[in-house]
Amino acid sequence: MTAPRRLIIAMDGPAGVGKSTVGQYVAKRLGYHFINTGEMFRALTWKALEDGVDVEDQAAVLALARRLKWEFHPTEGGVTLKTFIDGQGVTVQIREERVSRNSSAVAANPGVRRLLCRLQRRLGRGGGIVMEGRDITTHVFPDADFKFYLDASPEERARRRTRQLKASGLPADFAKIHAAILQRDLNDLKRKINPLSQAEDAVVIDSTRLSMRQVAQKMLRLIRARA
């Protein structure tokens, strides 16, 4: 008997839609790795802010990205591959508000996108991954075995983000978070290079009225029916 083929499952969608929660659940059920590519952009943004590199200076940010040693190690029961730069895990720091605010400038840097895209393709090459971001279905893995686009209203996404921050003991103000989500949607959509868009052949799931578990189960049903 041959072993089942290890698939590439690509997911895109706007900020705060729950891609990570859903992606981790799906990956765990399938015995795959989960990769949140936003963490790579955030890690670089954090490092630039720490080192006093101007995030708008594209050459300087790219030089920094090239200097760093990028590694991805499994955590959370071995499911999630977390980003490490120069040997340092940055899970907590990259959630700071200043990192969210400045990450759009880093994500608009064409050289950085090319470098991170290469890393993402290398991580996914052998399959057995669920990878989420903004351009995974359209650019990084346009030929993925499964492509999903998760959506939800900005209000619902702001409510979820507020709950998530409060649960991790961080300050959370709904109005500010809502405004930030609208701004980040705009930045993601109007970016010249690889903006957020729905791949024509992606399965679109509107999660506004669904729990994360329901979304994940919907995805798993589709994957198991066709795989």
Taking the complex as a whole, the smallest distance from the CB of residue 154 to ligand DC amounts, in Å, to: 14
Hey, what amino acid is at 204?
V
Q: Is 162 in the site for ligand DC (CB under 6 A)?
A: no
Among 153, 156, 136, which residue's Cα sits nearest to residue 144? 136
Q: Please state, in angstroms and rounded to a whole number, the distance separating the CA atoms of residues 91 and 192.
A: 28
Which of 44, 133, 144, 202 lies at the binding interface for ligand DC (CB under 6 A)? 133
Q: Is 147 in the site for ligand DC (CB under 6 A)?
A: no
Q: Is 38 in the site for ligand DC (CB under 6 A)?
A: yes
Hey, what amino acid is at 87?
G
Please answer whether residues 152 and 19 qualify as being in contact, where contact means their C-beta atoms are separated by less than 8 angstroms: no
Q: Is 72 in the site for ligand DC (CB under 6 A)?
A: no
Using the minimum distance from each CB to ligand DC, give the nearer residue, 121 or 224: 121
> Which residues within the stretch 183-202 sit at the binding site for ligand DC (CB under 6 A)?
188
Taking the complex as a whole, the smallest distance from the CB of residue 211 to ligand DC amounts, in Å, to: 20
Taking the complex as a whole, the smallest distance from the CB of residue 88 to ligand DC amounts, in Å, to: 18
Q: Please state, in angstroms and rounded to a whole number, the distance separating the CA atoms of residues 38 and 176.
A: 21
Residue in the block written with tokens 């720091």 = 93
Using the minimum distance from each CB to ligand DC, give the nearer residue, 5 or 37: 37
Which of 107, 115, 199, 215 lies at the binding interface for ligand DC (CB under 6 A)? 107
Using the minimum distance from each CB to ligand DC, give the nearer residue, 1 or 132: 132
Contact range with ligand DC by CB under 6 A, out of 61-69, 83-91, 131-139, 146-154: 131-139
Instruction: Write out the E strands in 99-192.
Output: 129-133, 146-151
Contact range with ligand DC by CB under 6 A, out of 36-44, 159-167, 207-215, 216-224: 36-44
Size of site (CB under 6 A) for ligand DC: 13
Q: Which residues of 51-80 are buried (b: 16+ CB within 10 A; e: fewer)?
A: eebebeebeebbebbeebebebeeeeeebb
Beta-ladder partners of 11: 132, 148
Torsion angle of the four alpha carbons 112, 96, 180, 132, in this order, in degrees rounded to the nearest 10: 50
Using CB under 6 A as the criterion, which residues of the chain lie in contact with ligand DC when the complex forms? 15, 37-38, 41-42, 103-104, 107, 133-136, 188
